[in-house]
Structure 1
């Protein structure tokens, strides 16, 4: 009987040691501490917490990879109630906890037709995951850039492009004005706009988001955040003005111009150097009253929609925040008559060859 206690005691001691080691590691790990403080301060969240074993089961052991981002991979999954979901598995080596906290803190506060729904999360030691509603058509970039559109065998018509621009603007208006707290996204781009089966857009990926009170007209951030090509000048350098909701407007404007042009804002494969920077090229056409000559335009109605989106996009990417419209004004312009819109001034950032800021920007 006494001899039989040896292995049992040994196993018990090992379990105690493992638990002590795990507890000490958990306490010393700054990422875990940050997340635990956040979860404690926010109390019971409205979204469900899943175990990691549930995540494995839902994704069929991560069988269907939907894509990869800067902070981890996204997999298609299916919950027990039959709903399909997108599961983002955060990379423990890259995520400092900020991505997880930003997503949960911001999206759990929202409820809007043009904002992706966060259904749950997983936090189990170093294992962290976010569970979203599944968007069957994936991201917008698959349908607007030539190389991607050819692969999917689907190019968007002008009406669909216009509806997407309107939908994203409404989502941003909600984030800026419709929530109890103002949420600045800081990473609006085609990759982060998801489309459902009817091509209705939803803003996703709030990993860089900043939550502030509705009274705050300016926000304080450390360094530049966002994706090169979509970052507002003031986010890159405070010499251009204060960082605010107008920074999202800039990113939105650049995205709208990419939707219109069907190409990224800087393209090196074109024949003439004047066409390298698309906003520069399309501005010159508007200024000289030339036809936009874009392949998706098939009627006079299309021409008006595209011209309207182009003018609004150019207003949104004005160099100084004070000259950009708020997103509510953007919606007003998009839903109004194109004849009432004026072509904006030409920002000096339009010339990559002469702008030191643009040259520095490309190396960001």
Structure 2
């Protein structure tokens, strides 16, 4: 593999000075904890004055390269998220669970998103600062433009990250409004700011893909080059099944994101986090470079599955291999 142009990496001392003294993001995330528990907010806090990493997050925004297009993309996302939702209609529309879930395909067909799925909400997905009376989470996925994303950590790639967060926010708001118009309360969850729930666990549960070594989901069609939105509701949707594509085993034997990570934050083996053994990115190593580059995203861009046209062939190859092993 070519030499990593960002290594060796030394964090900016000014950023390090903004980190909370004696406070580890890994500890907040539950690294090494053997009991399942709700997550604590660590980054992307809406109220930076009230969070331990708030000063570091302010530094992140203050050191972003000035760019009119980026400002416009952020402003549009804020406008979308700030748009009032309609009141919940008095009479709920009745459909079968299967018909409710099938109706989500209309948002894919309209180009609002590329993936939809449904899972039952679990307590361990809800942040400890939040409460929700909803039982179901609809997950929505929007694809990156790979020819733009591949330029990360340069600004050009970062713009597509912001662009897709905007699309994810827009479709989340649209689905929530659609449900409320049909008499079902709905609460949109948008990124990147921390909302009421984690979005990766329900996305895994509803069949979007498998967790990759880089801590993001890998989907056989879109790789890791997509962003998530979600909607909480009690409308009676049928859930969509979790799926196994052989990606987890692939990641065990792949080092592409490990070798590409400038601060060496991606571990070669799984770790226990809040009672679950899984791939985990070292927050304390990752966050300085993430902040200095306004979001990094190198790991998802270099992932072999993210290259257009590669993932489905890889998935088919892994499926054939699994069939051969089963037949032996």
| TM-score interval, normalised by the smaller of the two chains | under 0.3
TM-score (ref. length: structure 2) = 0.24
TM-score (ref. length: structure 1) = 0.23
Larger radius of gyration: 1
Bigger relative contact order (CA 8 A; separation at least 6): 2
Structure having the larger proportion of residues in helix: 1
